[in-house]
Amino acid sequence: MKFACVVFPGSNCDVDMYHAIKDALSEEVEYVRHDVSNLDQYDGILLPGGFSYGDYLRSGAIARFSNVMQAVIKAAKEGKPVLGVCNGFQILLESGLLPGAMLRNKQLQFICKTVPLKVINANTMFTSAYEENEIIHIPVAHGEGNYYCDEETLKQLRENQQIVFTYEDNPNGSILNIAGITNESGNVLGMMPHPERAVEELLGSEDGLRLFKSIVKNWRETNVVTA
């Protein structure tokens, strides 16, 4: 499986994401610049964390206008897995690939620590290697991770089982403890915690590795490779 790791001006978690795919997962991955307009050669798209375009206006608001985002939207519509982590999640929200918005953390401080998450939906292409209601430990590092949406959107998220991860201790004030959601089709996941920073015990946890393994397993099961 071949991944594109999209790099925006201000991305700073792209190297972590690249390492997770290449070294921990042993799959193919390439850095892709923000000004690229075609992602057809890639099987999966990764939007890493950081401070794209300095987080001017608000997090992800400028990155959504990058050339590459039209290709990301196209890939999402084609059913390819698209994962946005932290700032990548914020970009997915700004681009309309996921519903809702991000507010500043409730305590108005940057949070950087490992937190317990509950796997709410283990029946997605991103979570099939987990158990339903399993508690996993993944680091967070953000100042604007307070997920918000209106009541109608929240109702849809719950009815469609789009809420994938929730915080056990809700460090940022997110509505309904939401830490990660998918689109209605289930092939776009946005999450604030960093699974790419939890792929080896040396890093304190390898709970994030199963997320990437889930993507690869699903892709191999749904794509027939011929010689």
Q: What 3-state class would DSSP assign to 169?
A: coil
Closest listed residue to residue 209, CA positions, set 44, 17, 4, 46 = 17
- Region of 117 on the Ramachandran plot (φ > 0 left; ψ -120 to 50 alpha; else beta): beta
Q: Is 196 a catalytic residue?
A: yes
**Which one from 86, 94, 144, 149 is the annotated catalytic residue?**
86
Closest listed residue to residue 109, CA positions, set 137, 86, 141, 61 = 141
**Which one from 27, 94, 144, 196 is the annotated catalytic residue?**
196
Q: Is 194 a catalytic residue?
A: yes
Closest listed residue to residue 94, CA positions, set 124, 139, 57 = 57
Q: Is 27 a catalytic residue?
A: no
Residues 6+ apart with CB under 8 A from 58: 94, 102, 144
Active site residues: 86, 194, 196
